[in-house]
Amino acid sequence: MKLVVSANGNVIGFLSMDTQIGLYAFDYSTSWLDREDCFPLSPALPLVRQNTSDEQHSANVRQFFQNLLPEGQALDDAAQANKVSKSNLMGLLVALGRETAGALEISMTEASPIPTPTPSKRLLTPQELSLRIRSRPDQAFSVWDGKVRLSIAGYQDKIAVLEENGLWFLVDGKGLASTHLLKPDPIRSGLQHMTSNEFACMRLAQAVGIATADVRLEHIPEPILLIRRFDRLIGEGNIERLHCIDGCQALGLGVSMKYERPYGDGRDVQHIRDGATLPKLFALLDRASSQPAVDRLALLRWSIFQILIGNTDAHGKNLSFFIDSGGIRLAPSYDLLCCLMYAEGQISDTLSMAIGDNFDARTLTPYDWALMGAECGLNARLVGRELKQLADKVLKIWPELKQNLVAAGANDTTLNSLEGVFNQQCTNALSIAGLVPKISKDIL
């Protein structure tokens, strides 16, 4: 089994699997390696293969490409719609690989008897979308016209659409690409108005100076959140795809390792912290970023902001990086959400990645922040200063922003709940920020 991996019409390489021994391999094409602007798919898959065994190379390849697939129910729906096992990576990539996150397009080789899909662009009306949102208990939201319209990782319902002149289209085939992700509220009653929650957190991040994907809230009449894809450049008559990888792909981790505690928070396994962590991400920027000082400061601010808004689900796949011939660069933020609003059993209140050794966003101490700084190679004064400045900005900006969010259609009750969390988290941060630099290095 062999697949072609391309980007914007250029063949990057070939993904293969030996079905006899169950090993994967990826080989960059000669034409790609000859380009002056060529780049690796990720730091874990360098242009020149290192001294790794076939087994380790196979694991690196499998982990990278598995991270392109959706998770949870969306993966189940994709497997069922295409009549392949959800453990069949190659089969799922054939089905979903033409509209991945980033620039990559995955297809059969030219010698394959399977024809390339004819380009198609179908109008998606608000009426049809509204009906499908209401039909989700009985009909998979990611499957339209018998095709899966999603290959974006994550658990929330979402589809990828092309927006042109205020209209939405489902697109398929060569030369076409989506420009936006469209999210309705979750089906679970305890998570209603999550669109307003995410809309508010994303707009707040922009307001305090954190690079964030553009979002807007619309009602059809159901609320839907539209997120403009930052891995797409919309030009005159064409859409360029930008190569973008998530934190797990950048770290060479599988999707199951997106949480720092990949085996859970239970007593017997909570000490195992083999998954994505802030120290690993900062170390990645040190060795691979084309602008390490800029990216390290941005990652610190991203980390602090998650605490201030109560986002306990900020895991390794909720960070992304652009990658080109110069290295990696931190991409805009996305999936910003106040999870502490749902801490009554709907969403875990345990942090996905610890601050120091503390996984509780509500009980962080100066020691926790100082330890985090030491582990990530950050100056304690910088950590304390950024903690104070961001908390001050959130409290100052929120009242006026809240009024604008209400005017944009956000749910008022949800915004009031968010305000309570923001005030508590920011007040806690301000009470300890000045003490962070005073923690003795001898006890860290």
Residues carrying an active site annotation: 313
Interatomic CA distance for residues 243 and 326, integer angstroms? 13
End-to-end Cα distance, the chain: 51
For 123, counting Cβ atoms within 10 Å of its Cβ (0-12 exposed, 13-18 middle, 19+ buried), the class is exposed
Q: Which residues contact 208 (CB under 8 A, 6 or more apart)?
A: 305, 390, 393, 394, 397
What value, to the nearest 5°, has the Cα angle with vertex 342 and ends 337 and 344?
Answer: 160
The neighbour count for residue 131, using CB atoms within 10 Å, is: 13
Assigned token pair, 93: 């990539």
Task: Note whether 426 and 308 are within 8 A (CB).
Answer: yes
Distance separating alpha carbons of residues 343 and 309, to the nearest angstrom: 13
3-state helix, strand, coil in the chain (%, to 5): 40, 20, 40
Q: Give the H/E segment covering residue 301.
A: helix 292-309
CA angle 397, 420, 193 (to 5 degrees): 90
